[in-house]
Every structure is written in C-alpha cells, then in structure tokens.
A and B are shown apart, each in its own frame.
Chain A
C-alpha cells in the first residue's frame, strides 16, 4: 500500500542496537496509523503491568498514512503512545508542525523506543542511519533551546526535533514532548516516559519522496479542501481561535473557575479571545502543508513580561487563567511560555496551580508549605512562582508536578477531594456538572479527563440535547463521536479541520483510498474507528483499570454549581453516572463492567487480543 512507509524502526536504548521490520499490513488496515497503530504496537511490545517510568515501558512514536503528503493538516502530524505515568492506562498525545512529515520522509511509520540509555542521549534519525548521540550538554535546556542546539550541532537547519524540557528530565508526571518549539504532545505525561529512558530528544531528517496512489485525483481533492478551509467550517480557528470559547462557556456558566468552585468567571472579558486578539496576537501561522492556519502567536507588548512570545489556545488560557482566578492575559501568556520552557502540559499545570490555590485558601497548604508564596486565587505572581517551582521540582513544586491525584494523596487533609482529575489526568475547560453528555465522554475517555477523545461537549454547548439531564441515548452519541475521533487521531488529521469533512466517513475513506490505493469503504473505516476504541479499552483492562476508573472528579459529583444563572445547582449524581455508563457500555456491546466481550472482539476481527478479556469473562 502506498502512503505507508512500510517500515517500523525498533531502537533498543539499553544495548544501542536498532533494527527495521516491515509494517504488518493487516495492522495498517485495521488500526490505520497514529494512536490506533501505536496502541496496537505498544500492547505487543510491553508486558502487562509494567511501571510507566521503568525501562520496560516502550515509547511508541507513529505517523499516519497521510503524513508527508500535502494534504492539509494531515501531512504533518505525529503521535506518541506509552503507558501513562498519570493514569497507568493509555498514554497518548499528538502534535502537528513539521516533525511528522520529516519522519515519514525518513521512511518510518513507527519508531519504538525500548529499554533505557545508560547516559542522556538524543536519537538522531537521518534516513536509514540511526544513532544515539550524547545529550549531556543539552540537559537542563528547554525544548526550544534543545531544538536550536541540535540543529546547530548537526549543521542542518531543516532537522526537525521533538524534545523534553527540564520537567521531563526530572520525570514530572505532567511532562510533555514539544516539537517545532511550540507544538506539544501535551497530555498524559509522555515527556516523563521519554525522560525515564534517558532520551532528551528525537531529531529527524528524511529525504525520501512521498508518492500517493492517485496523484491527479488527490491534487483535485486537496484543492477542494483548500476551498472548504476558507469556509465556515474553520472560521473560528482562522479568526478568534479557540479562545473564542471563553465568553461562550462563560455565558453558559460551564467554564470551571477557581478549581471548580465556580462555573463562571467575573474576569472573563479581560481574558477573552476578543481581548487576546485585539491586544496580543501578532500573527496567525500554519503548520507544514496546512491551508487553514490556526496558530495564534501572541506577544506581550508591554509591562513586566514584555516581549514574551508563545502560542495560545483556549484550554491553556483557561487553565492558567480562570481556573486560577487570574484575569491578566500578560501573566497567562508568561505562564504558557514557562510551561513550554520546562516542558509541562500547560492544561495540567494550570489545573495543578488552581488546586494548590484552593488548598491554600482552605488552609490545607500553609504559606510555609509553599516557601512563602501567597497562593490566593487571582494572585498572578503566585501562578508564575508555582510554575517555576514545578518546572524545577523545587519545594512544593516537587509534589505538585506529579499531578493533582498524587499531590492530593501526599498532601492529605482533604486535598484528595480538591484535585479535579479523571484517571489521574487533570480536567479540561468544560464544567462537567452542567454538560452531562460531555461528563459521560470524560468519564469513559481512555486517556483520562479529556475533551479531545469525543467532542461530546458539542451536543451540550450547542443545545442539541438538554445539557443538564442524564438520560439514555447519550451513550450512543458519545460512542459515535469517539469512533470518529479515534480515526482522526489515527489518520492523523488535525481536529480543527474536522468540520471540513462534510460527509465525515465517506470523505475520510476517499482520502485514504486516494493516498494508499486500497479501496477503503466508509463502513470498513467506521469499524476501524470502533476497533481502535476497543484496543484502547483492552490496553486499560490489561493494565488493571475497571469501571470504577470510569468516574468523575469529586467536585463534579459533590459540589453543585453555586453561580446564579442557567447552570445553578447542577451536578452529577452517582445514579446519573451509573445510568450513563450502563447506556454507554451497552451501546458498545461491552459488559456492564466495561469490558469488551469475546463476541465483540470476534466481530471486529480482534481474535489475537482475546486473551486479555477471557480471564474476565465468568
């Protein structure tokens, strides 16, 4: 099949040996690429129950079949998969930019890093030549500094680098992997997995041609999508960007504020997408091969953080802003830059600071615990100080940077309830108390609290369902969205472009066919989407996660929204959650314990993974 490079690179960091094996074509058709292929490969390269930060947890890097072509948004993505040090289940995160295209041109669909290097190294993939080079002088550098230093050392400006920062080196469980300086494979702590292998960075240069099966039709289809991308489906991303959500969510009282103590923020206007664009956005740029351009590059024009430049999106703005009660955009931007500098997931980092502030205000954390930081909600100086401490693992930062679940348990005194997470992964910017379809999507998300595994919030926010009600039928809504989203992350298409696939599955099937030459049908593709959700579930089942882990943060189930307005009094009861989970598991054809059945696995052609569930059948 074209599109695929047809090769998988195995790197044993312990011995320094590398080998290349052909890509299993069955896997390609069944799991597509990206996270689907990555999770399948992880399962066969790891033993059950491995410690996420041990040498036995392989780090899998994948691209999709479209990578390296000029298909808008899909030409440039890559994914990392491993066991997450936050959730102890599926860890996966994608990023775009130009790294993925380079890896495909080097001739690989996947790279599997096993073992642990004796000393800090960076992996240098130069087409067929693969080397582990000394990284001792890169230690302590930010991902962006590492990027520059490696390109300088290798003497090639067009080398693409994905690197961890100081947080990843220090095995912080919210550490991310950053490429192209501002693009993060952010969630689930995979930067710590890379750090635990003594790998500082992966540098790639690829020179191969990428050809598609039907070039003329492909180019026509590209042209059509360039036109679609100028239309309404992507308007939000090209204009205000995702920060548009600030005022939308605020007006619905569904924006978690001050660590979920509120659902709306009185300072929303000051941190809105409108204000950001008016005062801070300097340029909107694009990833390699994209015709959309969404990356809002912001620069602080004046004040103490003058000159700070970074990318800004809703989730990170929300976490570092409203979630900490902070209404100063310049501080939020500085916070974002610090997260990129240290290599921390900025969503997780903001939620952690909000948690620490809540602990402080409730007297659980005292000023002396925080090295004198006055961590009141809204104290923008405290945000910066706490992020610095987390990035360096200093003082309280050493505890906090492993995430709110572990920090809550260590701090105790009720802090466990204040840490808002699912499966150990910090929440994102949707108040689940009043968005009950989203609540289900978040609860069952195989990588922990996340809006990007389903996009089920759209039903609630757009008023397509009664967002305050838990009822049967939501299971199917979430399931269908999940099956599309796993395909998006396996192709790998950028989620911002999802609206341009007017016919969804038929459009995606056509793209797959034009690139690979394999006649993919929408039905077969839908099945692949379902299969990928099942393989993710098998990953979690094998690693010991159960129905109990498909749950919601403490406040979502115990603290009704106090804010006057459309969401007042909303929360999710255990009965509601059980109803939603049963409905979802039923629609998936899983047991009420949330385990895929043998029949379901047979139907999906996953007989080779049956042993994972057979022991749980009785």
Chain B
C-alpha cells in the first residue's frame, strides 16, 4: 500500500510562476474542451507584479472538504489521495468550498456540482505541469516540498553568513 506522504500533487514555485494563466487555459481545454479560466481546476492569483502563484488541490491528509460535505458526496482515494465527487449526491451547497483553505475546490459554472483537480488521471500526467512555459509547476510529494524549502533556507542562511565574513 502506498503511504500517505508519497501522494503527489501539483505545486507552483513562487519564484518561477509569472502569472501567465497558461495552466488555466490548458486545464479548461483538457477537461471542458473550451478555453475558459472559470472552468480551470488550477487558478492563478496575481497580488501584484511580483507576487504570482497558481493554486490547486493539495490532496490534504484528512481533507476538510470531505469532512465538511453533509451529503457524503466527496471521498478521498486511499491510494492516490485524489478527491472524487459523486455528481449525483452533490447539490452544490458549497460547504466544501468554504472548508478548503486554498480555494481549490469550486462550483462548476455549468454542471452546478463541485469539481477539483484530478491530476488528469485519464491523460497519464497533469497537463498544466506539462504545458507550463516556466516549468514552475511540479508534481511533488510533501517530502519533496519539504526538501526544497529546507535547501532554500539553508542556502539563504549561508548567503547571509558569507556576507558577514
């Protein structure tokens, strides 16, 4: 059995992401056969010119969206960590949307049920990762993210140290 910390999800590198929305366009094209950022499972936020980040489902352990659903429409796959939506049970009430800290689960503008990143499981790999022109998106485990953060922090520490000497 796959352990939880080996689950992979799409993460954007804030240093690399430039806010171009290519991920949004390719996501809506892949899933809805149309260009429409409103139907994208990954969304870009630009706070200002320097602060850009694409955000999508983190495949949380013990996901708040699943816990919040009053109709048991959401389930998490033990194997992959993906959130599955039972379209017959979901009535679009929005409790899961409110529960998600990342705004990663949304109400589909046409189907009126919630939808969330499924890592393009039918395509073999997330299309946003494949298309990102900046290679800012990565399919990572939380371990890998921790490694990255650790290395960045240590590098920064040594930079400071070098400046002092």
A interface residue numbers (CB < 8 A to B)? 68-70, 75, 98, 105, 157-158, 181-182, 207-212, 215, 219, 223, 226, 229-230, 282-293, 295, 297, 299, 309, 311
Q: How far is the CA of A284 from the CA of B133 in the complex (A)?
A: 13
Additional A-B contacts beyond A209-B34, A289-B21 (10; CB < 8 A): A70-B22, A70-B25, A70-B26, A105-B36, A157-B45, A226-B133, A285-B20, A286-B18, A290-B22, A295-B49
B19 CB-CB contact with A under 8 Å: yes
With a cutoff of 8 Å between Cβ atoms, the chain B residues found around residue A285 in the complex are 18-20, 49, 52
B152 CB-CB contact with A under 8 Å: no
B159 CB-CB contact with A under 8 Å: no
With a cutoff of 8 Å between Cβ atoms, the chain A residues found around residue B38 in the complex are 207
B134 CB-CB contact with A under 8 Å: yes
Q: How far is the CA of A311 from the CA of B49 in the complex (A)?
A: 9
Q: How far is the CA of A105 from the CA of B20 in the complex (A)?
A: 17
B125 CB-CB contact with A under 8 Å: no
Query: Can you list 7 contacts pairing A with B, beta carbon distance less than 8 Å?
Result: A157-B45, A211-B33, A226-B131, A285-B20, A288-B21, A291-B20, A293-B18
Which 4 pairs, one residue from A and one from B, show the smallest C-beta to C-beta distance?
Answer: A70-B25, A209-B34, A286-B20, A291-B133
Q: How far is the CA of A208 from the CA of B39 in the complex (A)?
A: 10
A288 partner, pick from B20, B32, B50, B109, beta carbons under 8 A? B20
Q: How far is the CA of A226 from the CA of B22 in the complex (A)?
A: 11
Q: How far is the CA of A69 from the CA of B37 in the complex (A)?
A: 10
**Distance of B38 from chain A, by nearest CB (Å):** 5
**Distance of A148 from chain B, by nearest CB (Å):** 10
With a cutoff of 8 Å between Cβ atoms, the chain B residues found around residue A98 in the complex are 21
With a cutoff of 8 Å between Cβ atoms, the chain A residues found around residue B34 in the complex are 209-211
**Distance of A357 from chain B, by nearest CB (Å):** 31
With a cutoff of 8 Å between Cβ atoms, the chain A residues found around residue B29 in the complex are 70, 215, 219
Q: How far is the CA of A281 from the CA of B29 in the complex (A)?
A: 34
B48 CB-CB contact with A under 8 Å: yes
Closest to A293 in B: B18
B residues 1-43 near A (Cβ < 8 Å) are 18-22, 25-26, 29, 32-39
Q: How far is the CA of A226 from the CA of B25 in the complex (A)?
A: 14
With a cutoff of 8 Å between Cβ atoms, the chain B residues found around residue A286 in the complex are 18-20, 133
**Distance of B116 from chain A, by nearest CB (Å):** 19
With a cutoff of 8 Å between Cβ atoms, the chain A residues found around residue B109 in the complex are 207
B interface residue numbers (CB < 8 A to A)? 18-22, 25-26, 29, 32-39, 45, 48-50, 52, 109, 131, 133-134
- A69 and B18 within 8 A (CB): no
**Distance of A68 from chain B, by nearest CB (Å):** 6
Closest to A182 in B: B49
Q: How far is the CA of A286 from the CA of B16 in the complex (A)?
A: 11
**Distance of A182 from chain B, by nearest CB (Å):** 7
With a cutoff of 8 Å between Cβ atoms, the chain A residues found around residue B26 in the complex are 70
Closest to A218 in B: B29
Q: How far is the CA of A219 from the CA of B133 in the complex (A)?
A: 14
With a cutoff of 8 Å between Cβ atoms, the chain B residues found around residue A182 in the complex are 49
With a cutoff of 8 Å between Cβ atoms, the chain B residues found around residue A208 in the complex are 36
With a cutoff of 8 Å between Cβ atoms, the chain A residues found around residue B36 in the complex are 105, 207-210
The verdict on A181 contacting B49 (CB below 8 Å), with A98-B21, A288-B20, A291-B20 known, is yes
**Distance of B71 from chain A, by nearest CB (Å):** 26
- A309 and B50 within 8 A (CB): yes
B133 partner, pick from A75, A181, A229, beta carbons under 8 A? A229
**Distance of A187 from chain B, by nearest CB (Å):** 22
A69 partner, pick from B19, B32, B35, beta carbons under 8 A? B35
Closest to A76 in B: B21
With a cutoff of 8 Å between Cβ atoms, the chain A residues found around residue B19 in the complex are 285-286
The verdict on A289 contacting B22 (CB below 8 Å), with A210-B35, A210-B36, A211-B33 known, is yes
**Distance of A497 from chain B, by nearest CB (Å):** 13
With a cutoff of 8 Å between Cβ atoms, the chain B residues found around residue A211 in the complex are 33-35
- B50 and A297 within 8 A (CB): yes
The verdict on A215 contacting B33 (CB below 8 Å), with A70-B22, A289-B20, A293-B20 known, is yes
A297 partner, pick from B20, B37, B39, B49, beta carbons under 8 A? B49
**Distance of B74 from chain A, by nearest CB (Å):** 25
Q: How far is the CA of A295 from the CA of B48 in the complex (A)?
A: 13
- A75 and B25 within 8 A (CB): yes
Q: How far is the CA of A102 from the CA of B80 in the complex (A)?
A: 36
- B22 and A291 within 8 A (CB): yes
**Distance of A6 from chain B, by nearest CB (Å):** 16
Q: How far is the CA of A293 from the CA of B134 in the complex (A)?
A: 9
